[in-house]
């Protein structure tokens, strides 16, 4: 028997995907994996069909089809004032997951350190592992605010990069300008590369602004800005993300992407360009719809005794174990929820790298039709009473 690579010894199946698999097995409503259960915009679907019919079915240029690169850079310029050359600074990737992995492979040498703020999306740690980097964690506790002085204590001479996620999954925090200024000062002081996961930048509540870290003074040349189309346009299965950076990071990033996946799906890239041409009214309605879903989810949780922090962005809410605290830790509660209640959630500890943290929390995804959330409420009433 030949053992696998030792660097993979601490990795396991994605907990989120495990919960989805168990939800399918037990017929549970899936509030674990963050995908919508409603269709994408009709115009976007029509554009995908048209691209296939037009013959866009072979390899695209590695960095992405030109209409999409042009649309992405135009949107980033128009909305945030970010300046990227579509011919040199952009890579269209197979989702944000690939973009994070490619960014870490491009930015961090083996033996370097990556600072990860926890709780964090579970793909960040494997991405650091694949790059041969050591992950160092800085834990946030409710209300999940960043204190730059505390963050500084996690930085060492080997720290090369920091991963920043806002709007934040799983807490729903949207980092303020003051918090981002603090991160920027640390990056400049310690010569760090910032890798920013901004996939939820269009799902923000109550008029809060989204401030890309790359827009702050001194950060444009040291930030890899990452986003994607899956959440905004309800096409998570299309696996379309992007990463933008200035030179020399841009060339390194695009080279890694080239040999990881060659290119993202060609016809779907053309459809994504059409999605980015949708009017601003689309995004306004998107936020209204998610605001209604957030309110419904919070009302359900409150009714059944789960304590939650109001999400400021994205479409997740972290809660305590509520009336199921006596069942066991977060993993025991998540499995009980699937098998006995018929609702799938994610154990909170899967969003932490520090042992012992998150075992008293679970994450709920509310990117669902209101009818689906009503069905969740019915199951909770029937089986938690």
Q: What is the pLDDT of residues 221-236, one digit of tens each?
A: 999 999 999 999 999 9
Go through the domains of the chain in sequence order and give each one's CATH number. 6-40+280-384 (3.90.1150.10), 55-275 (3.40.640.10)
pLDDT tens-digit profile of 168-180?
999 999 999 999 9
- Count Cα atoms within 13 angstroms, Cβ side, for 289: 19
> Per-residue confidence at 7, pLDDT binned at 50, 70, 90?
confident
Please tell me the predicted confidence (pLDDT) of residue 204: 98
Query: Does the pLDDT at position 249 exceed 80?
Result: yes
pLDDT in tens, 83-107: 999 999 999 999 999 999 999 999 9
* Mean of the per-residue pLDDT values of the chain: 97
pLDDT at 2: 81
pLDDT tier at 9 (50, 70, 90 boundaries)?
confident
Task: Report the distance separating Cα 371 and Cα 39, nearest Å.
Answer: 14
Q: What average pLDDT does range 26-34 have in this prediction? A: 98
* pLDDT recorded at residue 129: 96
Of the pLDDT bands very low, low, confident and very high (cuts 50, 70, 90), residue 327 is very high
Whether pTM exceeds 0.75:
yes
369-376 mean pLDDT? 98
Read off the DSSP letter of residue 7: G
3-class state of residue 135 by DSSP: strand
Cα separations in angstroms, 250 against 90, 180, 273: 7, 22, 21
Kindly state the average pLDDT of the residues 331-352.
Answer: 98
All residues at 6 or more sequence positions from 119 whose CB lies less than 8 Å from its CB, including other chains: 140, 144, 170, 171, 318, 348, 351, 352, 357, 358
Q: Which residues contact 129 (CB under 8 A, 6 or more apart)?
A: 7, 8, 10, 11, 135
Rounded to an integer, the average pLDDT of 341-350 is: 98
Counting residues of the chain whose pLDDT is more than 90, the rounded percentage is 96
Residue 191 confidence class, pLDDT cut points 50, 70, 90: very high
pLDDT of 27: 98
| Per-residue model confidence (pLDDT) at position 10 | 80
* Alpha carbons 169 and 100: distance in angstroms, whole number: 14
Q: What is the structure's pLDDT at 4?
A: 86
* CA-wise closest residue to 29 among 384, 382, 368: 368
Q: When comparing pLDDT for 1 and 353, which is higher?
A: 353
Q: Read off the pLDDT of each residue in 152-170 and give the average, rounded to a whole number.
A: 98
User: Does position 1 have pLDDT exceeding 90, yes or no?
Assistant: no
pLDDT at 223 (0 to 100):
98
CB-based contacts of 8, cutoff 8 Å, min separation 6: 129
Taking only the tens place, the pLDDT of each residue in 43-62 is: 999 999 999 999 999 999 99
Q: Is the pLDDT at 306 greater than 80, yes or no? A: yes
- In angstroms, rounded to a whole number, what is the distance separating the alpha carbons of residues 364 and 181? 30
What is the per-residue pLDDT across 112-134, written as a single tens digit (0 to 9) for each?
A: 999 999 999 999 999 999 999 99
For 201-221, how does the pLDDT look when each residue is reduced to its tens digit (9 = 90+)?
999 999 999 999 999 999 999
Considering the chain, what percentage of its residues have pLDDT values greater than 70?
100
In this structure, are residues 284 and 83 in contact, taking their beta carbons and an 8 Å threshold?
no
Residue-level pLDDT at 373: 98
Average pLDDT, stretch 5-28?
Answer: 92
Q: Which of 8-12, 138-142, 275-279, 286-290 has the lowest mean pLDDT?
A: 8-12
3 state SS of 111: coil
């Amino acid at each position: 028997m030949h053992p696998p690579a030792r660097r993979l010894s601490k990795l396991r199946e994605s907990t989120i995907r495990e919960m989805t698999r168990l939800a399918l097995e037990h017929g549970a409503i899936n509030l674990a994996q963050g995908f919508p259960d409603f269709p994408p915009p009709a115009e976007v679907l029509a554009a995908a069909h048209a691209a296939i019919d037009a013959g866009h079915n072979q390899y695209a240029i590695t960095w992405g089809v030109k209409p999409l690169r042009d649309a992405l850079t135009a949107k980033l310029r128009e909305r945030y004032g970010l300046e990227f050359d579509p011919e040199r600074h952009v890579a269209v990737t197979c989702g944000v997951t690939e973009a994070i992995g490619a960014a870490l492979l491009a930015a961090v040498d083996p033996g370097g350190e990556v600072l990860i703020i926890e709780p964090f999306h579970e793909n960040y740690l494997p991405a650091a592992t694949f790059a041969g980097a050591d992950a160092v964690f800085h834990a946030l506790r409710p209300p999940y605010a960043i204190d730059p002085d505390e963050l500084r204590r996690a930085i060492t001479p080997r720290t090369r990069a920091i991963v920043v996620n806002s709007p934040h999954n799983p807490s729903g925090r949207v980092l303020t300008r003051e918090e981002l200024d603090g991160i920027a000062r640390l990056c400049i002081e310690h010569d760090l590369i910032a890798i920013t996961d901004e996939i939820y930048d269009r799902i923000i509540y109550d008029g809060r602004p989204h401030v890309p870290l790359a827009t702050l003074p001194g950060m444009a040349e040291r930030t890899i800005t990452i986003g994607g189309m899956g959440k905004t346009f309800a096409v998570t299965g299309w696996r379309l993300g992007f990463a933008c950076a200035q030179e020399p990071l841009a060339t390194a990033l695009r080279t890694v992407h080239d040999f990881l996946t060659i290119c993202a799906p060609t016809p779907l890239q053309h459809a994504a360009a059409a999605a980015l041409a949708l009017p601003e009214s689309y995004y306004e309605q998107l936020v209204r719809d998610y605001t209604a879903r957030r309110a419904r989810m919070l009302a359900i949780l409150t009714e059944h005794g789960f304590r939650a922090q109001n999400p400021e962005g994205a479409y997740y809410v972290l809660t305590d174990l509520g009336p199921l605290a006596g069942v066991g830790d977060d993993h025991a509660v998540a499995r009980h929820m699937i098998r006995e209640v018929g609702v799938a959630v994610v154990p909170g500890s899967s969003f932490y790298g520090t042992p012992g943290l998150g075992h008293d929390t679970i994450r709920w995804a509310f990117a669902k039709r209101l009818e689906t959330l009503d069905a969740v409420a019915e199951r909770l009433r029937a089986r938690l009473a």
